[in-house]
């Protein structure tokens, strides 16, 4: 059976995961990116699969739970195609919660914490132990790219989608290389998505996160993530980055500026050291920033544009793009191909009105 072709703008983790899903269903796929694949938030991320972070909007949970259930198969598929096995880095997270938000049985006692992580200074925080994994996006990205390159997906980096125009049952796409027609177009351009799709009710904009990495001192072996509303500390335990920790992150509304400021990094270090004093003098390796694609209500945009039946969008994953990639690929492929999506997509509709403003 001949399948119509599909074009994606954005070769980040969302665009490439969707390309693989559509390819696996037999569809010819082209992916354009204005720069190099996976070069933006997909590799700036810490890689926590934080489906149960209490700061997530509750409407996200069905999509997040689906993604968690798909994650091992997603990594297996990448392994099969690329030969690269991406390991889980951690399997547990110490999550700080405000007083009164958890039952006395689920909250860890001071003794539990001292046993679990003697180096921790819990100060005023109350902690839960979440059964949560993390991956290293810098391992995932090359593996995903190799997987895509092992298929006949047509990946066109450094080729910006300049404009799109819906005509009858096709979309006309213009890039610096010319104009082509595609049966369906999917905008996965992350923080840059608003430049390509006319979004009326709810838009997407960059929200900057600065972060840094350190070498953990031998006195501070860390095998789980520590997360409070203001800071996270994510250790690497497998692969070339073993023994490092990623510490993040700022949350800033200042457009597409990715400048890293030492004063912001120092503040993150100070916050992290209130939990793990050994971080205060840990050697810094790198500092960087990424641009999270944020919507005004904190929920992704997943669906079709109200007045353009062949123009789809999958972006706005904000702090959870690494987590949500497998489920986004699954539900968007189902939606685009006219199947019933595995989760209700109405909370993520591009036609929804913005009812609340996500706090930074
Ligand atoms: N995913 C972690 C962050 O947004 O900082």
Domains, the chain, in order of start with CATH, read: 6-83+137-204+296-353 (3.50.50.60), 93-130+206-292 (3.30.9.10)
* Mean pLDDT lowest among 101-105, 241-245, 254-258, 312-316: 101-105
Structure confidence by residue, pLDDT tens digits, 205-251: 999 999 999 999 998 999 999 999 999 999 999 999 999 999 999 99
pLDDT band at residue 267, thresholds of 50, 70 and 90? Answer: very high
pLDDT band per the 50, 70, 90 thresholds, residue 186: very high
Going by C-alpha positions, the residue among 220, 62, 75, 82 that lies closest to residue 133 is 75
Can you tell me the mean pLDDT for 102-108? Answer: 73
d(CA 131, CA 185): 37
Task: Tell me the CA–centroid distance for residue 180 and ligand 1, in Å.
Answer: 36
Hey, what are 133's tokens? 């994994």
pLDDT at 122: 81
Q: Taking 70 as the threshold, does the pLDDT of residue 357 lie above it?
A: no
Q: For a pocket test of ligand 1, which of 12, 14, 43, 46 has the largest count of ligand atoms closer than 8 A to its C-beta? A: 46
Q: What is the dihedral of CA 102, 106, 112, 117, to 10 degrees?
A: -70
Judge whether 209 and 250 are in contact, CB under 8 Å: yes
Mean pLDDT of 289-310: 95
Percent helix, strand and coil across the chain, each to the nearest 5:
30, 25, 45
pLDDT attached to residue 355? 56
Peptide bond into 313 cis (omega under 30): no
In whole angstroms, how far apart are CA 343 and each of 13, 50, 63, 330? 20, 18, 6, 10
- The pair phi, psi for residue 303, each rounded to 5°, is 155, -155
Place of tokens 């335990």: 237
pLDDT at 1 over 80: no
Nearest residue CA, atom 5 of ligand 1?
A: 249
The confidence band for 356, taking pLDDT boundaries of 50, 70 and 90, is low
Q: Which atom of ligand 1 is nearest to the CA of 47?
A: 1
Where b means 16+ CB within 10 Å and e means fewer, 305-323 reads beebebbbbbbbbbbbbbb
Mean of all residue pLDDT scores within the chain: 94
Of 5, 2, 1, nearest to 186 (Cα)? Answer: 5
The answer to whether 132 touches 48, Cβ cutoff 8 Å, is yes
Measure the CA–CA gap between 51 and 227, rounded to whole angstroms. Answer: 13
Residue nearest to atom 2 of ligand 1 (CA): 319
Find, among 204, 182, 221, 227, the residue nearest to 302 by Cα. Answer: 204
pLDDT tens string 23-40: 999 999 999 999 999 999
Mean pLDDT of 277-306: 96
- In this structure, are residues 338 and 331 in contact, taking their beta carbons and an 8 Å threshold? no
3-state secondary structure of 243: coil
Q: What's the pLDDT band for 353 if we cut at 50, 70, 90?
A: confident
Dist. CA 185 → ligand 1 center (Å): 28
């Amino acid at each position: 059976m001949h399948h119509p072709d599909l074009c994606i703008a954005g070769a980040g983790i969302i665009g490439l995961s969707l390309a693989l899903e559509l390819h696996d269903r037999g569809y010819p796929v082209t992916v354009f990116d204005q720069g190099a694949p996976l070069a933006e938030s997909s590799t700036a991320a810490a890689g926590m699969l934080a489906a149960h972070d209490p700061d997530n909007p509750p409407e996200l949970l069905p999509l997040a739970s689906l993604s968690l259930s798909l994650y091992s198969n997603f990594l297996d598929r990448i392994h099969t195609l690329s030969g690269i096995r991406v390991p889980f880095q951690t399997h547990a997270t110490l999550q700080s919660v405000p007083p009164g938000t958890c039952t006395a049985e689920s909250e860890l006692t001071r003794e539990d914490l001292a046993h679990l992580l003697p180096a921790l200074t819990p100060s005023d925080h109350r902690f839960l132990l979440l059964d949560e994994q993390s991956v290293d996006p810098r391992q995932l990205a090359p593996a995903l790219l190799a997987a895509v390159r092992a298929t006949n997906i047509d990946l066109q980096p450094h080729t910006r989608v300049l404009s799109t125009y819906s005509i009858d049952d096709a979309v006309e796409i213009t890039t610096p290389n010319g104009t082509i027609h595609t049966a369906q177009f999917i905008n996965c351009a992350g923080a840059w998505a608003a430049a390509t799709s006319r979004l009326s009710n709810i838009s997407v904009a960059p929200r900057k996160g600065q972060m840094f990495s350190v070498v953990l001192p031998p006195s501070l072996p860390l095998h789980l993530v520590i997360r409070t509303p203001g800071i996270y500390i994510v250790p690497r335990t497998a692969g070339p980055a073993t023994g490092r920790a990623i510490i993040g992150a700022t949350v800033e509304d200042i457009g597409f500026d990715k400048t890293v400021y030492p004063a912001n990094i120092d503040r993150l270090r100070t916050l992290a050291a209130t939990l793990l004093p050994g971080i205060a003098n840990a050697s810094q390796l790198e500092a960087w920033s990424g641009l999270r694609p944020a919507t005004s209500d904190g929920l992704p945009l997943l669906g079709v544009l109200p007045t353009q039946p062949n123009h789809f969008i999958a972006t706005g994953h904000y702090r959870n793009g690494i987590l949500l990639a497998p489920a986004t690929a699954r539900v968007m492929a189902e939606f685009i191909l006219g199947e019933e999506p595995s989760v209700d997509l109405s909370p993520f509709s591009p036609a929804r009105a913005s009812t609340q403003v996500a706090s930074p």
